[in-house]
Amino acid sequence: MKKVLLLICLLSGITLTYAQKKQKVWYFTNDGREVNNRDSSDYTRIVESEENAKNFTLREYYYPNNTLKTTGSVSSFDPRLVYEGEIISYYKNGQKKSVKNYVKGRPVGLATTYYTDGKLEARMNYSGGININEPAEPAYILIEYYDTQGNALVKDGNGSLSRWNTDSTFVEEGAFLNGVKTGTWTGKSLKSGLSYKEEYTNGKFVKGVTTTSKGKKISYADIVQLPQFDGGIKKFYKYISENFVYPPSAKKDGVSGMEVVSFTVEKDGSITNVKVLRSLGAAIDREAIRIMQESPAWIPAKRRGIPSPIKYTIPIRLNLESR
pTM of the prediction?
A: 0.80
What residue segments make up the domains of the chain, in order of their start?
Answer: 2-161, 228-322
User: Can you give the pLDDT of all 323 residues of the chain as single tens digits?
Assistant: 444 343 333 344 444 444 457 899 999 998 777 888 899 999 999 999 987 788 999 999 999 999 999 999 999 987 789 999 999 999 999 999 999 999 999 999 999 999 999 999 999 999 988 888 887 789 999 999 999 999 999 999 999 999 988 777 899 999 999 999 999 999 999 999 999 999 999 999 999 999 999 999 999 999 999 999 999 999 999 999 999 999 999 888 888 899 999 999 999 999 999 989 888 999 999 999 999 999 999 999 999 999 999 998 999 998 866 55
Q: What span, in angstroms and rounded, lies between the C-alpha atoms of 115 and 110?
A: 18
- Whole-number Å distance between alpha carbons of 188 and 173: 9
User: What is the CATH topology of the domain spanning 2-161?
Assistant: Outer Surface Protein A; domain 3 (3.90.930)
The DSSP H or E segment spanning 9 is: helix 2-9
Contacts of 189 (CB under 8 A, 6+ apart): 169, 170, 195
Cα separation of 133 and 187, whole Å? Answer: 16
Fold adopted by 228-322:
TolA/TonB C-terminal domain (3.30.2420)
| C-alpha neighbours within 13 Å on the C-beta side of residue 32 | 13
Closest CA to 113 of 58, 163, 72, 65: 163
